Amino acid sequence: MNIKEIKSSVWEKLNEKIKKQKLEVKDKKYFFWKNILALMLGAIFLLMVLFCISFIFFFISRNNLFGFGHFGLRGWQSLFFAFPWFLFFIAIILIFILEFIFKKYQLVYRRPLIYSFGVLLICSFVFGTLIARTSWHDQLLEQAQTQQLPFLGKMYRNFDEPKNLHVGQLQEQTEAMWIMQSRRGDLQFVLISANTNFPQGDNFRVGDLLLVSGLKDEGKIEAWGIMPFEPRPFDKGFGGMRQRMK
């Protein structure tokens, strides 16, 4: 069989395959609307990523979560369990979905997966941090606390204060017990013992804001760590402290 016959045979097989598959020529409008839909889905998933990342940073800064680290190994363990891993993993999954949506575009498909994923992750963290520094999440939390946020309200209320970490304004002091008022206005009794750790000293006065680590049981907190609390600029808790904290 010569070259001409081979070419003819290949062409016939290819032509038969094309006829069987019945290839259709897509109209330009099809690709236009397909790209529009991809961009809209990408924008939605991107907003969801930014919401998750910014909420994580908001949760950390609102409760001075990294303050756990001042209480040693026990504090780091509590930090690990208090961290909102659920939102973090949702954000990672959403970034992978964004990678899939935009993989056909030149800026993405010509790059290795790890590069484009890394760029999306870094951008999400940068813009998420900037959003968390605004009053947006504080306003949504305030709406959630007054039952005015039906869809996301429960999530905000659940993440209001992490387990084993309590924030309050000091009201009274005795040698064995301190009384502080929480953001919600209820009184909490902080039990002081020889095992209570004061990483930044124990020179506190009535009216000071406290970050207390310890197990809570029926309004009593067995404190194993106490340090000053630095509120966010938009924090509106603690009743009479509200004006000072704006």
The more confidently predicted of residues 24 and 210 is: 210
Ranges 6-15, 108-117, 207-216, most confident: 207-216
Domains defined for the chain, CATH in brackets: 28-156 (no CATH), 164-245 (2.40.50.140)
pLDDT for 104: 66
- Per-residue pLDDT, 20: 60
Residues 232-244 have a mean pLDDT of 60
Candidates 205, 225, 189, 239; CA nearest to 69 is 225
Lowest mean pLDDT among 126-130, 181-185, 218-222, 234-238: 234-238
CA distance 67 to 31: 52
Q: Which of 29-43, 46-60, 75-89, 104-118 has the highest mean pLDDT?
A: 46-60
* Per-residue DSSP letter, 65: G
Instruction: Give 103-107 contacts, CB < 8 A, sequence gap 24+.
Output: none
- Residue 98: count of CB within 10 angstroms of its CB: 23
- The model carries a pTM of 0.73
CA 113-118-120 angle, to 5 degrees, is 100
Binned at pLDDT 50, 70 and 90, residue 145 comes out as: confident
Q: Output the six-digit token pair for 20.
A: 């069987």
Q: How far apart are the C-alpha atoms of 101 and 45, rounded to whole Å? A: 10
Is the Cβ–Cβ distance between 79 and 211 less than 8 Å?
no
105 vs 149 pLDDT, higher one: 149
Please give the pLDDT value at position 243. Answer: 40
- pLDDT at position 77 is 80
